[in-house]
């Protein structure tokens, strides 16, 4: 079965990003595509451009294996001081290196970024993360607005009706496109 990984860059294991991603995962699964929410919380991913063959003890290899196996990749996290949280960008840069050293496994994967914040910086955050998708030959569907959700305390983001409507439609587009491209 085709699969989508939703990778959260939030340090909060039950925060807004995870809650939004769980809802998006439900939508993807309802379309008949498997979905798994993963979190960088507690992993302490090392900021290194290590060759893939060097084994790290920080759990990143497991993430790489799961992402490599999936047809879809959605990433996201909270806005911190106007930009995407650093931990997520470290993970994306490590992933880029792993893909470059392993037959460009990111190419053709379908997905895109989501940014969640209290008030500002979500659009610049998704623009930053989009650079990763477009460089790596990935396919990014649209939605009816940008993938930005507003909320501060855990539980607030899923109450942002317009933000949730946008990311839910994005999740539907990701699943529909995966079925068209990968499922006969
Ligand atoms: C250190 C820090 C910096 C933040 N900076 C911003 C910001 O620049 N813009 C914004 O809209 N929200 C900002 N926030 C709020 C978070 O993005 C918001 O609470 C988000 O919903 C948290 O998501 P999470 O629960 O998934 O971690 C900041 C929060 C923290 C802790």
Please give the tally of structural domains in the chain. Answer: 1
Q: What is the CATH number of the domain that holds 31?
A: 3.40.50.360
Burial class (CB in 10 A: 0-12, 13-18, 19+), 52: middle
What is the residue range of 74's domain?
A: 3-182
Percent of the chain with pLDDT over 70: 97
pLDDT tens digits, residue range 1-47?
A: 999 999 999 999 999 999 999 999 999 999 999 999 999 999 988 88
Q: What one-character DSSP code corresponds to residue 128?
A: H
Task: State if residue 80 touches ligand 1 by the CB under 6 angstroms criterion.
Answer: yes
Q: What is the pLDDT of residues 101-113, one digit of tens each?
A: 999 999 999 999 9
Is pTM beyond 0.95 here?
A: yes
Alpha carbon separation from 133 to 66, 93, 120, 183 (Å, rounded): 17, 11, 22, 22
Burial of 135: CB neighbours in 10 Å, binned 0-12, 13-18, 19+: exposed
- Which residues lie closer than 8 Å to 13 by C-beta, 6 or more apart? 39, 41, 42
Alpha carbon of 117 to ligand 1 centroid (Å)? 5
> Ligand 1 test: best mutation among 10, 17, 80, 82, most atoms within 8 Å of CB?
80
Ligand 1 center to 2 CA (angstroms): 32
Give the tens place of pLDDT for each residue, 127-176: 999 999 999 999 999 999 999 999 999 999 999 999 999 999 999 999 99
Residue range 42-76, pLDDT digits in tens: 998 888 887 666 667 788 889 999 999 999 999 99
Distance 145 CA to ligand 1 centre (A): 20
- Ligand 1 pocket, 16 CB below 6 A? yes
């Amino acid at each position: 079965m085709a699969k989508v990984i939703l990778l959260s860059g939030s340090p909060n294991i039950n925060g807004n990003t995870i809650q939004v991603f769980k809802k998006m995962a439900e939508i993807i699964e309802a379309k008949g595509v498997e979905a798994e929410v993963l979190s960088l919380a507690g992993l302490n991913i090392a900021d290194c451009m290590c060759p893939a063959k060097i084994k790290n003890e920080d759990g990143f290899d497991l993430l790489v294996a799961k992402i490599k196996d999936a047809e879809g990749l959605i990433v996201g996290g909270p806005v911190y001081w106007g930009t995407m949280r650093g931990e997520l960008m470290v993970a994306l840069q490590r992933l880029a290196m792993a893909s470059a050293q392993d037959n460009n496994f990111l190419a053709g994967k379908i997905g895109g970024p989501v940014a969640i914040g209290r008030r500002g910086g979500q659009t610049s955050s998704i623009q930053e993360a989009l650079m990763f998708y477009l460089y790596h030959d990935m396919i990014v569907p649209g939605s009816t607005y940008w993938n930005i959700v507003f909320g501060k305390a855990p539980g607030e983001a899923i109450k942002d009706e317009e933000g949730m409507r946008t990311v839910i439609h994005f999740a539907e587009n990701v699943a529909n496109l995966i079925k068209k491209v990968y499922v006969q």
